[in-house]
Each structure stands twice: as C-alpha cells, then as structure tokens.
Chains A and B, each alone.
Chain A
Amino acid sequence: MTISSEPSRPRPLLVAGLGNPDRGDDGFGPAVIARLARLALPEVDLLAFCRPLDLLDHWEGRGLVLVLDAALPRGKPGRLHRIDPLGDWALLPPAASASTHGLGLAEAIELGRTLGRLPGQIIVYAAEGSSFAPGAPLSPSVAAAVDEAVERIAEECRRAG
C-alpha cells in the first residue's frame, strides 16, 4: 500500500483509496493509489487507508476529493461507477459499501455533512467487486478496472489542476 506523506498544508486536490489489500477486491482503492503514485501527478495528495471515517480528518478544506472504493456486486464485476454523492446521493446508500469496517463511506460522508466538515466536491469511483476473501488478490475483472480507474482519475486531476 502506498501513502504519500501529507504536506503540512493540504493541497486542494486529494485522491483517497479505501480498502484492505488483504481482502480480495476490497483492495481496489489502494491498488489504484499505488499506480497513481508512480505517475507523480503534480499538486495532488494521495492517501490509501481502510477506515472510511478517517476521510473526515483529511478532506476538510479541500476543493475536490476523489474517492476510490470497492462496491458490492451488482451484476457486473469490475464495472466502474462514477458517483457524485453530494449531488446524486441516492446512488450510494450505506448498504452499497463493501467496506469490511463498521462505518462505511456513506456514513463518513453523512457524518461530515452533519458536522459541517465536507470538502467542496466529492467524486466516488466505485468498482463492483466479486470476491472479498481474506488473502485473495484482486479478481481479474477488478484488476482491469484498476487500469481504467487510473486513466480516468489522472484525467480528472489534469482537468481540476
């Protein structure tokens, strides 16, 4: 898992990958972050972690936060969904999160909203997973989604920059 050291002053753009690399497709987010780190995108902070609630400590004051997460299967493993949770909230009910942890992404966003601690904009890229078994690698379809996500996130970063 790759985590850039966060500078003392956070940059306006954060890309955060959620998930546990030891739980199969749950490792989607960290896998994308590891690949993005090699691209050395300018003016972007990269973070990978598995506790969605930690977003609250990292996204306040940012202009745009791109979040990568695995989603429960919905018919097509590896399909990538681009969601604006502050705009079309209904697309991301709590049960859609495949996090292995108690407070998921939806709860973190909702808690941030309640406490008035949200960034300007959030975009979630969620990949439909198929296996979340301990010790399993990414499934082939989600591994392919990593490639797609890296391209799309890099493009979003260039546009935002």
Chain B
Amino acid sequence: MPTKKLSLEALARVEGEGSLELFLHDGKVETARLRIFEPPRFFEAFLRGRAAAEVPDIVARICGICPVAYQMSAVHALEHGLGVVVDGPLRLLRRLLYCGEWIESHVLHIVLLHAPDFLGYPDAIAISRDHRAEVERGLALKRAGNEIVRLLGGREIHPINVRVGGFYRLPSPAELSALRARLERAREEAVALLRWVATFPMPEYQRDYEFIALRHPSEYPMNEGQIASSRGLSLAPEEFDTAFEERHLPHSTALYCSLRERGSYLVGPLARYNLNFDRLPPSIQAHAREAGLGAACHNPFQSILVRSVEVLFACEEALRLLSLYEPPEAPALPLPRVAGEGHAATEAPRGLLYHRYRFDAEGTIEQARIVPPTSQNQASIEEDLRLLAESLLALPEESLRARCEQAIRNYDPCISCSTHFLRLRIHGR
C-alpha cells in the first residue's frame, strides 16, 4: 500500500506539542492517533514527600493557563482528607477566583486561538489586522479575568494566595469595589463577544458523546458537585476509580482515561453545558438561545459558542458573588493534624480535573494522583478526527489539515504539560 507522509508543524495554537497520524485503508480512515507529549506524571512523583501546605503553590505551576483549577482541585482534595469543609464567604471567594480563570482562559482561546480557524486566518496576528476592534475587546475582557486572579490569587500567573483551609490574605472592600466596576464593563464586552462568535460560519458535525461533568444541586458547576454523565452516571469524587481507568498507549506519553466497559467520553464546556443548561440563570440561557444554541449541543465546533456563553456566565456570576460577599472572620480555617486521604474534582476551563492525595499526620504527601482534562478527552478527540477526516478525504491536504487542527482546538487541549507543534502524517493515501 502506498504510504504518504506529510509533516506538519502548524498546531502552535494548541498549548503544547503533538502530532496526528491518520491511517487509511480503502478510502476509510481506520485510525487517528494524536500524540500528546505530556511530562509523564512528573508532578505526581514530585509531590511525594512534600508538605501538604506546599501543594497548592506547586500544582499551580503545572499549567500557565489554568493554575487556579489545579489549586482548587488540590485544596478541595486535601480538605476532604482532613475532614474540613470551607463554606460561606471563603467558598464564595474561591468561586469568584475560578470565574476569573474561566474568563481569561476561555477568552484567550476563543479570540486568539480558535476564531482564526472559523474566519480563515492563519493566526492571531492575521485576525488582528482585520478584526482589530474585536481582538482589542477580547484582550480587555481577558484582562478583567486577570484582575480577579491577581486580586484573589495574589498575582496573575501561578497564584500564591490560595491555601488549604482558605486564603492567606483577604481582599479589601476598596479592592472588591474596583473589581465590581471593572466586571460591569466586562459583562458588556462578553455579550458583544458572544454576538460576534454567533456570526461565525459553523461546520456541520454531530456526535453522540457521553458527556461527563460535575453537577451541583443549584449551581452551574465549578468547585463542587457529583461527577455526572449524560448516560446516567452519578458518582462522588471519591468513587472516581470505580468508574474510570487510565491506560498507557505506546503512541503517546499522555495517559488515556476512559470509562470502564464504556470507552471514551467528553469533558469540558460542551459537557458542562449539556449536563447543566438548567443551572444557568435565565438571562444567560436567553443569550445562549439568541446565539443559536439550544439546551443541548452535540456539535463540537460549537464549543466556541459554548465557551463564549460560559464567559458571559462567569462575568455575571462574579458580579452576583461580589454582591453577596460579607468578609469572614479569618482568611482561613484552622486545620487538624491528622493523616488522611482525600479526593476532589473541579471544573477546569477545559473540563473535569480530578486530584487525590494521601498524607500522614505530619501533613507529608505520601501519594498524589492528578487526572487532567486533556487525557480524558484524548480518545474522543481521536474519534472525532477519524470520523471528520473520513468525510473530508476528498479535500486538498492543506484544507484537510486546517479542518483537523480546528477540530483539535475544539477541545482547547492544554498542555503546559506539553510543547509546540503538530506534525500530521497520513499513511496509505
């Protein structure tokens, strides 16, 4: 069988490095393999022997784009192991911090990484030349997210103000009031962003995914909830291992996570939205409908719209939280000195992020486990690419590659945990 190899170094707009191989037989795509070079479990090994109090600052450095998510899953897991529940204003501030990360991470991806695919530009610079106002607005909106993270996280990148039991320093009323004014503007910018994205040409593609996301009794999920699936699963985070398994496949250094006896599934904005549309406030639901979305969405390309809805939700939710906030008596709860094991899952911008820690009575970490969203989505990304590539095989290689890259970016695969380029090889064409 003739084998054609094509080397592509074009996926700079995904955080990290990867290569895609398509294996063809009789005009069908038999297999799509996405290699993701993830530092294999470096941080899990690195955390063993460290003090639990250090964990939030260490895991924040796993990812430059979503440090808050790593911190939140870590502190919740450690608190679960300690039997401590952080509630009231401290819980509120954590949710506010998460809103900031959703805004900055989503907006960066929507405007500078994904929008160029939809509008036919090669990169962020090219789109900025023709859509300067939209890009400027996006950068301003992203800055509003940065402001939240800077205020509550202590700094924008790799925040240092989150601790087990709460925070090190609480924001002052004056700081919160300035933030409020900034977020009022951000909400308007988010409405405009959603309306802009709603005008993008949208590829037709549908798949019947099994969606996995947190589900909370009343909130659109961020820090807390049962792990729920669109096919009836509902688990506490500590039951993660009973339903999910991680496997190592030779072609990738990332671990594949799948549902036992069920296979691939999808986490991220699309999963959250499908499982929790009813948890969005009516005003946000109305904006989603105006943008052309229903209560369910099975087109992964529309994830860019769903992300835009989540940005608007995060702005509105942040304002709501600010209006409810009353300063707590102390920035953190006292912690018992006990050995324990704790689990938590939170909703990183890219999807469910599961952490588990076991620690001794001195608070020394004995075992750490981190399951990031990208490894959970990898099997789904490959299945999307296989089906999509098959329907597009008649296209010139350049167009096929562009559409494959766009499809990979549907998942916003994050890998500070990885590196730069996509190389595409097509075997048997």
Contact = CB atoms under 8 A, between A and B. Distances in A.
B367 interface: no
A100 B421 CA distance: 10
Contact of A20 (B61, B112, B132, B136): B61
A155 interface: no
Contacts of B13: 102-103
B112 A100 contact: no
B223 to A, nearest CB: 24
B281 to A, nearest CB: 30
Interface string A52-78: 011011000000000000000000000
A20 B156 contact: no
A78 B38 CA distance: 26
Nearest to B108: A53
Interface string A86-114: 00000000100000111110010011001
Given A100-B416, A101-B416, A114-B125, A54 B157 contact: yes
Majority secondary structure of chain A interface residues (helix, strand, loop or mixed): loop
Question: Interface range on chain A: under 10, 10 to 19, 20 to 34, or 35 or more?
Answer: 20 to 34
B393 to A, nearest CB: 28
A1 B12 CA distance: 26
Contacts of A103: 12-13, 112-113, 124
A111 B65 CA distance: 19
B64 A111 contact: no
A82 interface: no
A3 to B, nearest CB: 6
Contact of B42 (A53, A104, A134): A134
A113 B50 CA distance: 44
Interface string B64-105: 110000000000000000000000000000000000000000
B251 interface: no
Contact of A57 (B64, B128, B143): B143
B12 A114 contact: no
Contact of A101 (B42, B64, B156): B64
A70 to B, nearest CB: 13
Interface of A: 1, 3, 20-22, 49-51, 53-54, 56-57, 94, 100-104, 107, 110-111, 114-115, 132-135
